[in-house]
């Protein structure tokens, strides 16, 4: 057998010993992101009720706003555009041109724990003494926007 034939046979044996395919492995990276969000689910009315002009004292009332936010998000609460609960919102209940002053305050919330745990935010309203003593009879109202933002 010639030298060339021996080389051809050796090459054929070497090629037969190789795997039929070569495998390559690369990693896939899966990603996701969560943007902080808040959802306001309800705001209860704040009915101050019938005001007694004879006794004329301050009239406190509470309301509750229910919301949830992304875990770790500290929301900003706004009542009538006011965003600091300690100074609060100053409003005017109106009947035509007659008005009755009142305030709404709240405790600024801490970080939320997620959407599975709704938070009750207490809104503390008060009509101060003397704010309604000389007002005419009738129904006084004001609609106030309450918002929760991340």
Is the residue at 140 inside a domain?
A: yes
For the stretch 94-103, what's the b/e string if a residue is b when 16 or more beta carbons lie within 10 angstroms of its beta carbon? eeeeebbebb
Question: Looking at residue 18, what is its pLDDT?
Answer: 56
Counting the structural domains of the chain, the total is: 1
Q: Which domain holds residue 43?
A: 38-149
CATH number at residue 130: 2.60.40.1090
Question: Looking at residue 127, what is its pLDDT?
Answer: 98
In the chain, what's the furthest Cα-to-Cα distance? 129
Walking along the chain (150 residues) 10 residues at a time, the average pLDDT comes out as: 67 58 88 96 96 94 96 96 95 97 95 94 96 96 96
Phi, then psi, of 28 in degrees rounded to 5: -100, 135
Is the residue at 13 inside a domain?
A: no
Is the residue at 53 inside a domain?
A: yes
Is the residue at 80 inside a domain?
A: yes
Burial class (CB in 10 A: 0-12, 13-18, 19+), 84: middle
Question: Looking at residue 27, what is its pLDDT?
Answer: 94
Is the residue at 14 inside a domain?
A: no
Per-residue CA distances from 106 to 77, 102, 112, 114 (Å)? 9, 14, 16, 21
Is the residue at 122 inside a domain?
A: yes
Is the residue at 115 inside a domain?
A: yes
Put simply, whether the predicted model's pTM sits higher than 0.85 gets the answer: no
Is the residue at 11 inside a domain?
A: no
Question: Looking at residue 48, what is its pLDDT?
Answer: 97
């Amino acid at each position: 057998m010639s030298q060339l034939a021996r080389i051809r046979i050796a090459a054929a044996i070497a090629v037969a010993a190789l795997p039929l395919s070569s495998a390559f492995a690369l990693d896939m990276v899966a990603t996701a992101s969560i943007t902080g969000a808040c959802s306001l689910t309800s705001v209860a009315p704040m009915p101050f009720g019938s005001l007694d002009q004879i006794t004329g004292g301050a009239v406190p009332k509470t309301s509750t706003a229910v919301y949830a936010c992304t875990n770790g998000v500290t929301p900003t609460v706004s009542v009538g555009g006011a965003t600091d609960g300690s100074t609060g919102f100053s409003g005017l209940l109106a009947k035509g041109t007659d008005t009755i002053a009142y305030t709404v305050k709240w405790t600024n919330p801490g970080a939320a724990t997620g959407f599975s745990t709704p938070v009750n935010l207490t809104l503390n309203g008060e009509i101060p003494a003397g704010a309604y003593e000389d007002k005419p009879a009738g129904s006084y109202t004001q609609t106030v926007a309450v918002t929760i933002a991340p």
